[in-house]
Structure 1
């Protein structure tokens, strides 16, 4: 009789354990359904074959579940580091980081990918993502422009190393944008000096724009500001040359109109001197 009671107690304990497990599993399923970024494939210990993990990552990514997609790609990289799918997962994880605004993580991932697989079919894409990550970090011209330099470097690598890739056109567009930012920074500092009548310091900044960033949207103003600064210093030949070059390249510009009037106020007119650095730099301008 005592034995029967003992057996019944053990059986009841097993039944209770099964019920607890079922309830816990039901709660987990409910939680998964309510989580906005839970794995849409399955919850595993991430021990699936590489192709399965990769496809699960893509499925999550296509569904907008970027956190889960990253988890799958990272698991693939850890567990199958030398597989073809791990290589693909690395560049996809870089894309996920970029999509999530984790730009430094994207840069780190693409840097690692390019070190390991510089000649792979996805190398151009990895380089492009790196350039995009730097471009997204370019601040206003009032701030440090180090990301702009980095963006130019990364996108120029797309153009130089992968000239036949589909990313070249946009890479060139991003380079132009970054160069405009760098030129804008020089203009911002130059205007600061000009307002304080520190003309030599101002000229040095405007000169950088004309010589180093001749095909940017800042050149018109730079030439006008050079006219203004040189005129204020009494260096009339350079002032006349800056205005002449401005008029030759941008004849309908308001900047040229203002420069022309400024020279007229001193009894001068635009006149280019072949000995001027401005005249030599003018050969690289957009309208030259």
Structure 2
């Protein structure tokens, strides 16, 4: 009986501790909303928009979050969510930005501004893949897992294909070209890794992957060169010769 009561007491204390932690974690967010004046939705949004335009993104998030909480179905709800995405992006809060975008896309599949949301989703995934410290000091990041890059590429491809008349398409195409080179460069980095360790078939296959999937990138010739020398090391002379001819043909263009 004593042991049972002891376990129950422990469970009660543990539950209370967990609830206390949850209350503490949600307290700052609630405090942020409470710091926002009790104004009409129009007045609040005007304040939020002015703050956002001034580059005060943290304060803009406070104001926009308060509007979103107080008037979730109001006339500014969609615009508020789009502005929140931008503010989260500017502050580097990529996880919250992506969550807001995904929720918007899920709940508003026919909204007139979906092109903007796909554009922002692409930019957010690009930012999520960045490493400012290492890039600042010039450290080569070609070996980074490009999973976020692939998602960003898909986001911007969706924008270009589904919304060809969007004002965001020209910039999206520039970003796509950059992302294509980044993915091709990663594959060649891996190919070099395999080649240096005498895994020539794996190296050739990586080069072939670049040729098949990233032929529009600036890494087509290096990929063919990788295939040429890898096949040569394997004694596959015909394949090596074919890669050499394709390389020379593309060098002349």
Tell me the TM-score normalized by structure 1.
Answer: 0.69
Asked whether the equivalents of residues 193 and 202 of structure 1 are also in contact (C-alpha less than 8 Å), the reply is yes
Alignment of 1:209-288 (within 5 A): 209-251=210-252
Structure 1 residue aligned with 2:127: 136
Aligned to 1:195: 196
| TM-aligned CA deviation for residue 49 of structure 1 | 1.6
For the residue of structure 2 that corresponds to 1:84, the secondary structure is coil
Partner of 1:277: none
Cα deviation, residue 45, structure 1: 4.8
The 1-side partners of 2:103 and 2:233 are apart by: 53
**Does 1:84 pair with 2:85?**
no
Q: 2:73 matched to 1:72?
A: no
- Residue 116 of structure 1 is aligned with which of 67, 85, 107? 107
Residue 98 of structure 1 contacts residue 106 of structure 1 at CA under 8 Å; is this kept in 2? yes
Measured in 1, the distance between the counterparts of 2:35 and 2:143 equals: 49
- Which of these residues, 23, 33, 38, is aligned with residue 47 of structure 1? 38
Indicate if the aligned counterparts of 1:135 and 1:148 stay in contact, CA closer than 8 A.
yes
Using the TM superposition, give the Cα deviation of residue 160 of structure 1 relative to its aligned residue in structure 2, in angstroms. 2.2
Q: Secondary structure at the match of 2:83?
A: helix
1:56 paired residue number: 47
Q: Which of the numbers 91, 107, 112 marks the counterpart of 1:100?
A: 91
C-alpha separation in 2, matches of 1:45 and 1:64: 18
Residue 206 of structure 1 aligns with which residue?
Answer: 207
| Structure number, greater radius of gyration | 1
Offset, 1:197: 1.9
CA distance in 2, matches of 1:119, 1:159: 17
Larger mean Cα displacement after TM superposition, 139-148 or 218-227: 139-148
Moved over 4 A (4+): none
State the partner residue of 1:147.
148
Question: Unmatched 5+ residue regions in structure 2?
Answer: 1-31, 131-140
Corresponding residue of 2:170: 169
TM-score (norm 2): 0.78
Aligned twin of 2:184: 183
1:161-215 per-residue CA deviation (whole Å, 9 max, x = no partner) reads 2221111122122222222222111111111111122211111111111111111
Higher helix share: 2
What is the CA deviation profile of residues 79-133 of structure 1, one whole-angstrom value per residue up to 9, with x for unaligned ones?
1111121210110011001111111111111111122223223221122111100
